[in-house]
Amino acid sequence: MRAVLPMLLCFLASEARADNPLLQQFMGNELATPEKGFLAPSGRFRVRIPQGFELSDESDLDTTILVGDISGQPAALIIRRIDVVPGASSSQLLLTTRDRYLAKLPHFTMLRQNAVKVAGRKCARLIGRYDYQGNKGYPQIVENAFVVDGADGFVIHMEIQEGLYKAMANELLEIYKSFRPIAVANSVQ
């Protein structure tokens, strides 16, 4: 028995590493390391999330909602996976979103539309401003980056009060650098 106990302890210790997929599945994403990042509940992407943000809702596997606060004010990071047609571009996703914002968000104004690197590829980015619930006293900044990976499109959406946007801008760049789409493995039949 004494000889078996050290071997058993070594085995249990080796299986309890934070990068063990079985342990991560059992414990959830609490053990996600900064190097590997947060694995979406759908398993479709991995990203490093800002410190203090946590998963808010797992009901829709194609929409990951992370909430946190910046300087005591609420902020939301939403990453949504959508199906896209073959050959779609990130610019097409941007134009569709821009038109929807112009129609639905009170006093929406485009501040910037440009390209940014996400997941090592050139993607479209939209930065805009609107008045929360139509109240000019509560301006919000919306930043979206649009990623197309084969038949999957991803929208990385950040919404924050206008005065706190500069504090979050560097975090967004880190999110863009760390974002990695994960293709679904095709099953062989």
The structural domains of the chain, ordered by start, are 1-31 (no CATH), 33-181 (3.40.1000.10)
Q: How many angstroms separate the CA atoms of 155 and 30, rounded?
A: 24
Strand order in the sheet with 180-181: 38-39, 45-47, 180-181
What band does 10 get if pLDDT is binned at 50, 70 and 90? very low
pLDDT surpasses 50 at 25: no
pLDDT surpasses 50 at 74: yes
pTM over the 0.85 mark: no
Q: Among residues of the chain, what percentage have pLDDT more than 70?
A: 78
Q: What is the mean pLDDT of residues 101-127?
A: 92
> How many CA atoms are closer than 13 Å to the CA of 142, on its beta-carbon side?
22
> How far is C-alpha 106 from the chain's CA centre?
25
